[in-house]
Amino acid sequence: MREKVLTRANVENFVVVLMILLLLACASVLRVRAQSRQQLSLADILIALRSKKADIGEKNKILADAVKERGITFTLTPEIEKELGTTGAGTDLISAIRQKAPVLVALADVKAPAEKEKETKPVEDFAFFRTRALAEL
């Protein structure tokens, strides 16, 4: 029968492999934690509303809490609000989205850059062009 001999090299290799596995486990836990704090997109909300995993009231409550906690990446327009309503979003979810929606500045509020007072027209000097034409001849 073979006997297993624990040598220093075997123990060192085991410790190195164990450390690598520990580092990979820590990195994956940190990555999962970082992903859970991302803002919700419109697609995330629509997919969750269309899900068959829970009833519509429970989905609305979970999504409203998530929107309040994490925020959203889109602006709420009347078309998006209508789509959310037809998908099954409740009033509490829509109000949470309104609270977290990024504020857009209207184009009328933005000042136009100062226009040039007068556009300078190139000087059309007849004598210059005449002497140039004569020089070409």
Instruction: Give CA 29 to chain center in angstroms.
Output: 22
Q: Could you tell me which of 20, 9, 16, 70 has the C-alpha nearest to residue 44?
A: 70
Backbone Cα Rg of the chain: 34
Residues near 58 by beta carbon (within 8 Å), at least 6 away in sequence: none
108 has a pLDDT exceeding 70: no
Q: What is the pLDDT of residue 64?
A: 93
Cα–Cα distance between 32 and 40 in angstroms, integer?
A: 16
Strand, helix or coil for residue 72: strand
For the stretch 6-59, pLDDT in tens is 688 888 888 888 788 888 887 777 665 555 578 889 999 999 999 988 899 999
Cα–Cα distance between 105 and 109 in angstroms, integer?
A: 7
For the question of whether the overall pTM of this predicted structure is more than 0.85, the answer is: no
Residue 100 or 113, more confident: 100
Q: Where are the domains of the chain?
A: 8-100
For the stretch 49-88, pLDDT in tens is 999 888 999 999 999 999 999 999 988 899 999 999 999 9
Cα–Cα distance between 49 and 93 in angstroms, integer?
A: 11
- The listed range with the strongest mean pLDDT (1-10, 13-22, 90-99, 126-135) is 90-99
Cα–Cα distance between 32 and 38 in angstroms, integer?
A: 11
Residue 132: CA atoms inside 13 Å, Cβ hemisphere, count? Answer: 6
> Which token pair is 39?
């803002």
Q: What is the pLDDT of residue 79?
A: 92
Sign, CA torsion 50/55/56/60: negative
